[in-house]
Structure 1
Amino acid sequence: MQTEDDRKNPLEHYLGATIRELRLRHGLTIAQVCEQAGISRGMLSKIENAQTSTGLDVLNRIAQALGVSMSTLFRNYDVPDGSAQFVKKGAGMEVVRKGTKRGHTYHLLAYDQGPRKIFEPFLITMDDEAERFPIFEHPGTEFIHMLKGVIEYRHGQQTYVLHPGDTLTFQGDVPHGPEKLIKMPIQFLSIILYPPTAAE
C-alpha cells in the first residue's frame, strides 16, 4: 500500500526498492555493492530506504556494481497499471449464435468491453454435423484460425478447406459459414473485428 511519503517522492521510493531487490536477487551485501560502486554504506542504505536522492553518476556506479544497465533501474518506473482480462481454459462464456445447431459450441473469450464492441473472439467447437449449417452476416472483418479437424468453409461464392494451422480472413458482411465438416471434432478461433462508428 502506498504511503503519503511514497506519493511525495515516488521516484526515490521506486529506485530504492529496485536497487534493494536487484541486490538481494544477486546475493550481494550492502558492503559488496558499496565497495564496487565507491560509495559509503550509509549512502546506499539511505538510497534503498528513499531517505535521500542521488545523481545519475552514483546511480550508474550502483547499476554497474549490481551487474545491470542503468536503464534496468528505470525499466518499470511509471508504467501504467494493467487491465487485461484473463479467461482460464474452459471458462469462456458459452453463447448461442443465431442459426447454430446442436453440437456447435461457441465460447466467447472476452466480453464487457464497454459501450461499443471493438472485437469478439470465439472458440468454436463442432462435434456433431447439423442438418443445416448456419450462415452468418455481420459488419467488420473476421479472422479464423483452425486448431483441430478439417472443415470446408464458405465465403460468398468461394469455399476453402481449412486444416489445423490454416487461417482465413474475410469481410463479415458477405454471407459465410461452414459448408461441410470433413474431419471432426473441429475447433477453431474466430475473431470478429468491428468497424469504428461514424462518431469516431
Structure 2
Amino acid sequence: MSATTDIGSKIKKYRKEKKYTLKNLSEQTGLSIGFLSQLERGITTIAIDSLANVADVLGVEMMDFFESDLHQENDPVMRSYDLPTRLLSAEQIEYCLGKESFALRPKILQLMPCAQKEEKPEAVKAESERFLYLLEGVLSLEMGERSYVLYPGDSMQLAKGNRYAMYNRTTKPARVLLVEMPCEEACS
C-alpha cells in the first residue's frame, strides 16, 4: 500500500467513525467532494496544510495519518513489496515470506547459476528441521557422502543438525521454498 493510499484509507476510517459523509467533510474543510473521494481511494495527494485541516475537523492528530497500524504486526498477510531480503552469498538470495510473530519461517531462496565454478559451497548446519520444495530450476544438494539433484516439484526434508551444501550448476536461476522452525523454538 502506498503512503497516499494509506493516508486516504485512514481519512476514510476516521470520517466513518465520526459518521461524516463526504459532503459533511467537504463543507467543513473547504475541499471538494470529488477531491476527498479521490484522496480516500489513493488517486490523488494532499498538501500538508490541507491534511492538517482535515485532521482538525476529524479530531485526530496529523501524525495519526502517518503511523503504522498497531494491528499490522498481527496481520497474517505479507505483501510482496515488503519482503525482507538478505544476500547470503554471491549465488544465494533469501526472501523471508513469513512474519516473525509466527513459528514457521517460510523463505524463498534464489540460487544464481554457477555452472562455471568448480569449487563447491561450504556446508551449513541445519539449526532446525527444514523442508525444501524446488519451485523452478535444478538444485544440487550434498549431504555427507550423498549427492542429490532436485527438479521442479521435488521436495526434501532435512533433520536438525544435518550438514548440507546446495548449489545451482545450471545456467538458469533456481528457486527453492524453504520452511523451517526458528532456531529458538527448535533448539530449546
- TM superposition score normalised by structure 1: 0.47
Matched residue type, 2:78: V
CA distance in 2: counterparts of 1:143 and 1:152, whole angstroms: 15
Mapped pair 1:157 → 2:142: no
**What is the alpha-carbon distance in structure 2 between the residues aligned to residue 197 and residue 185 of structure 1?**
32
Amino acid at match of 1:171: A
Residue of structure 2 aligned with 1:93, choices 81, 84, 99? 84
1:169 is paired with a residue of what secondary structure?
Answer: strand
- Deviation of 1:111 (Å): 3.0
1:103 aligned to which of 68, 88, 91: 91
8 A contact 1:102–1:128 mirrored in 2:
no
Q: Structure 2: how far apart are the matches of 1:189 and 1:197? A: 22
Matches within 5 A, 1:47-66: none
User: Residues 46-94 of structure 1, C-alpha deviation per residue, up to 9 Å, x if partnerless?
Assistant: xxxxxxxxxxxxxxxxxxxxxxxxxxxxxxxxxxxxx552122353211
> Structure 1 residues 172, 134: closer, same or farther in 2, change over 3 A?
farther
Letter matched to residue 118 of structure 1:
A
The amino acid that maps onto 2:95 is H
Q: Which has the higher helix share?
A: 2
Are residues 1:118 and 2:136 paired? no
* One-letter amino acid of the counterpart of residue 77, structure 2: F
Q: Which residue of 154, 165, 176 corresponds with 1:166?
A: 154
Quote how far apart the aligned CAs of 1:159 are. 1.6
Name the CA distance, whole Å, in 1 between partners of 2:122 and 2:80. Answer: 26
Q: 1:183 to 1:168 in 2, by over 3 A?
A: farther
Question: What is the TM-score when the length of structure 2 is the normalising length?
Answer: 0.50
State the one-letter code of the partner of 1:158: R
Which amino acid letter does the alignment assign opposite residue 86 of structure 1? V
Letter in 1 for 2:159: Q
- Pair 1:127 & 2:112 matched: yes
Going from structure 1 to structure 2, the CA distance change for 1:196 and 1:137 (only over 3 Å counts) comes to: closer
Name the amino acid aligned to 1:95: R
Q: Report the CA distance between 1:182 and its aligned residue.
A: 3.4
Given that residues 87 and 110 in structure 1 are in contact (C-alpha distance below 8 angstroms), is that contact kept between their aligned partners in structure 2? yes
- Number of paired residues? 113
Aligned counterparts of 2:186 and 2:91: Cα–Cα separation in 1: 33
Q: How high is the sequence identity, in percent, across the aligned residues?
A: 14
